[in-house]
């Protein structure tokens, strides 16, 4: 497996510096986010990463299927991923519409959206990757809360068009995660592996409190081993949303992440 | 089903006032907490609630099995529940010991503790009720994260000694919750039903952000109906940890809870 820096780990590092910094550190892959890519320009970003010999391991993110214009927006995200040469578009499937209590309805809307988008993704050589998010995000960010659910949602669609993301931060608590990883491998659905650690107390809003690798209670090596055992040879993206990390200069944050990756994931 | 006020919903309401206030409002049951009961005195509390014609529907809480003196402390909790006439002792099973990443080990420690405590509870006429807590509490409060896990933990032990708690706040996100409720009924494990709503954003530490009934996205009536369909005739405890609610005078908080209970749970 190859280390890849997800851009949100070094959120405030400008793209040109990030590309140069990754190349300098011997990092061969980056996971990019749509907003900074749009700011820098998609074609310009594609050239930038190519010029630095970097692979774009994923684009974050499509999804948010509760929004009225979700399908159009997701088609654009597929096109952007294709333009960047990203093989994977990460999907954060969205929460409940305002005032709704219909969780089953929201989940079946995700299934419908996937069916509508999968062929489009296939035509563009992009794989949609359903990311189960921690259940604490169920109401407002992602009604797909477990790996089993994500695999069930993927099941009706071709594996080359739809896969799943294994993110240790979201799945570590789930006793069914290990069976899920094996199943993802057996069903050829493992599109992306991301790592972050779990630390408490959680901050207000619970978005920016992910732990640096090794700082928390996730058995990261067990996850890496389980993912590897499926035959997965793709990237390991470090994706750590953390206020403290975001105050560090990019090179320092990358260096810390790499050091911890070697001692806690490999 | 009978409405019961869990004491933590009106956390700062002194016990004598709470007992009088519940009686005045026609509330027939209260769920009590060990700390305020200890402060008031266990025997004195038992007399107080008896004098007001109140049933003690549960005592919160035992558990925290990662602590070195957990078994002794839980035996004391069983004795306190018996002294109060509480048929149920709620168990919050505890998180990971400091520095540990061994989640499987923590979960098997819960199984061992239950096996050790169940006969003692049985001798005292108290039922241990394993409460699955939302997965966001997995590391620091409760490694039992789903209803299925709680039922699996209860399975080896006699149903009259060990049951489970269904709390809407903890379970609402889980697509397996409905099957779990039916299973809890079929296996005679449904010891207690608690209600609170889910609202976001979550506050720092995620402990005191439960929603007043009807303010959030939980389909409370679906839960009540599912629990009722198992044949459960026990209490419905409103247990809402909420900073804003805690600033209200007890009678006002109780009145609001009752009003919302009638319109969103019944």
How would residue B118 be classed by pLDDT, with cut points 50, 70 and 90?
Answer: very high
| Size of chain B in residues | 266
Alpha helices, H only, chain A: 15-24, 34-40, 42-51, 70-84, 103-123, 147-154, 168-171, 177-186, 220-229, 243-246, 250-264
Nearest-by-Cβ selection for B145 from A149, A173, A217: A173
How much is the pLDDT for A204? 95
Mean pLDDT of B153-167: 98
User: How big is the A-B interface in CB pairs under 8 Å?
Assistant: 85
- Partner-chain contact B205 A201, CB within 8 Å: yes
pLDDT digits (tens, 9 = 90+) for A74-84: 999 999 999 99
% of chain A exceeding 90 in pLDDT: 99
CB contact under 8 A, B204 and A202: yes
Q: For chain B, which domains are there?
A: 2-264 (3.20.20.150)
Do B136 and A206 make contact, defined as CB atoms within 8 angstroms?
yes
Percent of chain B predicted with pLDDT > 70: 100
From the list B129, B109, B132, the residue with the least C-alpha distance to B180 is: B132
Does the structure show a pLDDT above 90 at B124?
Answer: yes
CA distance A92 to A194: 14
Residue A199 has pLDDT above 90, yes or no: yes
In whole angstroms, give the CA distance from residue A218 to residue A26: 26
Of B135, B138, B204, the CB nearest to A204: B204
- Confidence label for A194 from pLDDT (cuts 50, 70 and 90): very high
Whole-angstrom CA distances from A175 to A48, A155, B187, B252 are: 42, 21, 21, 42
Q: Please list every residue in chain B whose beta carbon sits closer than 8 Å to the beta carbon of residue A174.
A: 135, 145
Cβ of B139 within 8 Å of Cβ of A202? The answer is: no
- Measure in Å the smallest separation between the Cα of B98 and chain A Cα atoms: 9
Neighbours of B24 (CB within 10 A): 11
Q: How far is A204 from chain B (nearest CA, A)?
A: 4
pLDDT digits (tens, 9 = 90+) for B203-241: 999 999 999 999 999 999 999 999 999 999 999 999 999
B197-208: pLDDT as tens digits = 999 999 999 999
The pLDDT score that the predictor gives to residue B239 is: 97
pLDDT digits (tens, 9 = 90+) for A98-139: 999 999 999 999 999 999 999 999 999 999 999 999 999 999
Cross-chain residue pair A174–B135, CB shorter than 8 Å: yes
Instruction: Collect all residues of chain B within an 8 Å Cβ-Cβ radius of residue A206.
Output: 136, 201-202, 206
Q: Do residue B175 and residue A145 have CB atoms under 8 angstroms apart? A: yes
Q: Residue B106 and residue B104: Cα distance in Å, rounded?
A: 5
Q: What is the mean pLDDT of chain B?
A: 97
Whole-angstrom distance, CA of residue A89 vs CA of residue A81: 6
Q: Considering chain A, what is the average pLDDT of its residues?
A: 97
Determine the pLDDT at residue B103.
Answer: 98
* Among candidate residues B19, B28, B180, B137, the one with its CA nearest the CA of residue A206: B137
CA distance linking residue B82 with residue B110, whole number of Å: 22
Task: Please report the pLDDT score of residue B1 as a whole number.
Answer: 85
A139 contacts in chain B (CB < 8 Å) = 173, 198, 200, 216-217
Nearest to A202 among B172, B173, B206 (CB): B206
DSSP characters for chain B? -EEEEEGGGGTTS-HHHHHHHHHHTT--EEEEEHHHHHHH-HHHHHHHHHHTT-EEEEEEEEE-TTSTTHHHHHHHHHHHHHHHT-SEEEEE-B-PPTT---HHHHHHHHHHHHHHHHHHHHHTT-EEEE-PPPGGGTTTTBS--SHHHHHHHHTTS-TTTEEEEEEHHHHTT-TTHHHHHHHHHHTT-EEEEEE-EE-SSPPTTSSSBEEPTTSSS--HHHHHHHHHHTT--SEEEE---BHHHHHS-HHHHHHHHHHHHHHHT-
Closest Cα in chain B, distance from residue A21 (Å): 32
Q: Residue A134 has what DSSP assignment?
A: P
Q: What is the pLDDT of residue B154?
A: 98
Which chain B residues have a beta carbon less than 8 Å from that of A205?
200-202
- Residue A191 pLDDT greater than 90, yes or no: yes
Q: Do B219 and A100 touch (CB under 8 A)?
A: no
Cβ A135–B135 below 8 Å, yes or no? yes
Q: pLDDT by residue (tens digit) across B9-27?
A: 999 999 999 999 999 999 9
Residue B146: predicted pLDDT? 98
Report in angstroms the alpha-carbon separations of B12 from B7, B100, B204: 9, 35, 21
Per-residue pLDDT band at A1 (split at 50, 70, 90): confident
Q: Which of B105, B146, B152, B175 to mutate to test the interface with A (most CBs of A within 10 A)?
A: B175
**CB spacing of B219 vs A149 below 8 angstroms:** no
CB spacing of B145 vs A175 below 8 angstroms: yes
Q: What angle do CA A31, A34, A39 make, to 5 degrees?
A: 115
B44 to chain A nearest CA, in Å?
Answer: 37
CB contact under 8 Å between B203 and A203, yes or no, is no
For testing contact with chain B, the best of A96, A111, A173 (most B CBs within 10 A): A173
Under an 8 Å CB criterion, which residues of B touch A? Answer: 96, 100-103, 107, 134-136, 138-140, 145-146, 149, 172-175, 198, 200-206, 216-219
Q: Can you tell me the distance from the alpha carbon of B42 to that of A264, in angstroms, rounded to the nearest whole number?
A: 49
Tell me which of A66, A103, A105, A108 to substitute to probe the interface with B (most B C-beta atoms closer than 10 Å).
Answer: A103
Give the residue on A whose Cα is nearest the Cα of B100.
A217
pLDDT in tens, B74-105: 999 999 999 999 999 999 999 999 999 999 99
């Amino acid at each position: 497996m190859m280390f890849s820096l997800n851009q949100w780990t070094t959120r405030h590092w400008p793209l040109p510096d990030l590309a140069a910094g990754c190349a300098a550190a011997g990092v061969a892959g980056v996971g990019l986010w749509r907003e900074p890519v749009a700011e820098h320009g998609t074609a310009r970003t594609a050239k930038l990463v190519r010029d630095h010999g970097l692979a774009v391991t994923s684009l974050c993110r499509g999804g948010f299927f509760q929004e009225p214009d979700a399908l159009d927006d997701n088609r654009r995200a597929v096109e952007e991923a294709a333009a960047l040469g990203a093989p994977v578009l990460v999907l954060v499937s969205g929460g409940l519409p305002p005032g709704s209590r219909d969780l089953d309805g929201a989940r079946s809307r995700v299934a419908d959206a996937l069916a509508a988008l999968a062929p489009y993704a296939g035509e563009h050589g992009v794989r949609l990757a359903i990311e189960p998010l921690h259940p604490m995000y169920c109401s407002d960010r992602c009604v797909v809360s477990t790996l089993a659910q994500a695999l069930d949602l993927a099941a009706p669609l071709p594996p080359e068009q739809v896969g799943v993301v294994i993110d240790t931060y979201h799945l570590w608590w789930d006793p069914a995660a290990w069976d899920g990883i094996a199943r993802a491998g057996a069903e050829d659905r493992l599109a992306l592996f991301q790592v972050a650690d779990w630390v408490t107390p959680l901050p207000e809003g619970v978005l920016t409190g992910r732990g640096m690798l090794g700082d928390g209670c996730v058995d990261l090596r067990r996850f890496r081993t389980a993912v590897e055992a499926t035959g997965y040879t793709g990237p390991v993206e470090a994706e750590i949303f953390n206020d403290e990390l975001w105050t560090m200069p990019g090179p320092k944050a990358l260096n810390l992440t790499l050091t911890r990756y070697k001692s806690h994931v490999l």
